[in-house]
Amino acid sequence: MKNILVTGGAGFIGSNFVRYLLKNYEDIRIVNLDLLTYAGNLDNLSDVSNDSRYSFCRGDIHDRALVEQLFDRYGFDTVVNFAAESHVDRSIANPDIFLTTNVMGTLTLLDVAKRHWKLDPDDKYSREFKEGVKYLQVSTDEVYGALGETGMFTETTPLAPNSPYSASKASADLVVRSYDKTYGMPVNITRCSNNYGPYQFPEKLIPLMINNCLNGKPLPVYGDGMQIRDWLYVEDHCAAIAAVLEKGRLGEVYNIGGNNERANIEIVKLIIHDTGRSEELIEHVRDRPGHDRRYAIDNTKITSELGWSPKYTFQTGMASTVEWYLHHRDWMDKIVSGEYMKYYEKMYANNALS
Ligand code: NAD
Ligand code: TYD
């Protein structure tokens, strides 16, 4: 049985990942450690919250005593770290929390896992770890910086992050790397392109545009809207992470992407079309400072080594995404009204283990 600590499991990708594991693996135990920041939402997991293989703990990955307590109690053999501050625009306004959570939080998880997994934790020269343990860091293609009109990111592309968000993710990747090189800790790093799908917080491009279309509000396109992202349906990302957990060679980085490069304006127009709105809603606004022009992932390593490939095309993924948001307007309205934040403050006031 796999005994997994998933962090950030109440966020967009983490909640899809928890659901993916419960659906596809019988013999599994998952503890979801999530601080429930503005981006964490237990509604994302309401359909699986009573599953006996799953439990939730509200807390901070940077809280060493709590992480120790969870390791002592559950004896995890696997950590998948999704927990992060994840929005570039917020990182431009307030970088501090990005460094604290994304770098120091990652260090805390790594260090507690090392102490629990090393056969002789007190011998600084020993590189022996328990059989079958693994720490997986969920990272992003943004650590590679921006591309020009041609080329793709491979796993050996030098790190050149441009935003405080991507700088914090790149820093965390380097700390993970150091735990492999220095201590021999079994780790993997995955670097995925932009995700879309159900349960994405409506500050990100696709759910924001869907929500604004549904409410007839202006659609704020940064600059000329010709920035390019390589979009992947979230379930395909989850399957890729599961493949790396099972088969990824220790110490390796795996890029994850679906060969789906689209300009932002193309996506906005598609959403306008799918929701029956008018292009008159488009409003070109001032560009994001330091805005990366283009991302593209070369996924050769993961497809050839691990046999993973995306199941969704952009057409099927977007169709199911728009349909999901159309059928879950309550979910969106609750977030936008801020009602769920008040609810969680009351419910989980004292960081208690569930
Ligand atoms: P998200 O913002 O939707 O979710 C982040 C989750 O982490 C939230 O539930 C939040 O409550 C939790 N969290 C934040 N700080 C915490 C802390 N200190 N302790 C415990 N929990 C904390 O983000 P997402 O889009 O689901 O991204 C998840 C991960 O995947 C991130 O590490 C991100 O960098 C990475 N990633 C995201 C994308 C994307 O397109 N969204 C692409 C590639 C990689
Ligand atoms: P976002 O979803 O924030 O992801 P990231 O910045 O991590 O790629 O943004 C995706 C693209 O959409 C990015 O080029 C910025 C752009 N964008 C807009 O044009 N308008 C918006 O309101 C938002 C949120 C993003």
Q: Is the CB of 188 under 6 A from ligand 2?
A: no
Spans of the chain, pLDDT less than 70: 339-354
| Residues ≥6 apart with Cβ < 8 Å to 75 | 3, 116
> Distance of alpha carbon 142 from its chain centroid, rounded?
12
Nearest CA to ligand 1 atom 36: 140
Catalytic-residue membership of 141: yes
Q: Give SS3 for 242.
A: helix
If one residue of 203, 229, 283, 292 were mutated to test the ligand 2 pocket, choosing by the most ligand atoms within 8 A of its CB, it would be 229
20, 135, 165, 312: which one is catalytic? 165
End-to-end alpha carbon distance in the chain? 21
| Residues ≥6 apart with Cβ < 8 Å to 188 | 134, 135, 136, 137, 244, 245, 248, 250, 251, 252, 253, 254
pLDDT of residue 295: 98
The Å distance, Cα 11 to ligand 1 centre, comes to 6
Considering every ligand atom shown, identify the ligand nearest to the alpha carbon of residue 80 and give its number: 1
Nearest CA to ligand 1 atom 44: 140
Ligand 1 atom with least separation from CA of 33? 20
Q: Give SS3 for 92.
A: helix
Q: Phi first, then psi: give them for residue 190, nearest 5 degrees.
A: -110, 140
- List the beta bridge partners of residue 282: 219
Ligand 2 atom with least separation from CA of 268? 19
Q: Is the CB of 58 under 6 A from ligand 1?
A: no
The Å distance, Cα 209 to ligand 2 centre, comes to 10
Q: Residues 273-282: pLDDT tens digits?
A: 999 999 999 9
- CA dihedral defined by 90, 256, 53, 32, rounded to 10 degrees? -20
The Å distance, Cα 32 to ligand 2 centre, comes to 28
34, 60, 141, 173: which one is catalytic? 141
The Å distance, Cα 245 to ligand 2 centre, comes to 29
Q: Residues 163-186: pLDDT tens digits?
A: 999 999 999 999 999 999 999 999
Could you tell me if 30 and 6 are in contact, meaning their C-beta atoms sit under 8 angstroms apart?
yes
Considering every ligand atom shown, identify the ligand nearest to the alpha carbon of residue 227 and give its number: 2
Q: Is the CB of 11 under 6 A from ligand 1?
A: yes
Nearest CA to ligand 2 atom 17: 205
pLDDT of residue 354: 45
Cα→Cα distances 183→72, 106, 138, Å: 21, 16, 20
pTM for this entry: 0.96
Nearest CA to ligand 2 atom 12: 205
The Å distance, Cα 190 to ligand 2 centre, comes to 21
Q: Give SS3 for 43.
A: helix
The Å distance, Cα 243 to ligand 2 centre, comes to 28
> Distance of alpha carbon 106 from its chain centroid, rounded?
13
Q: Is the CB of 34 under 6 A from ligand 1?
A: yes
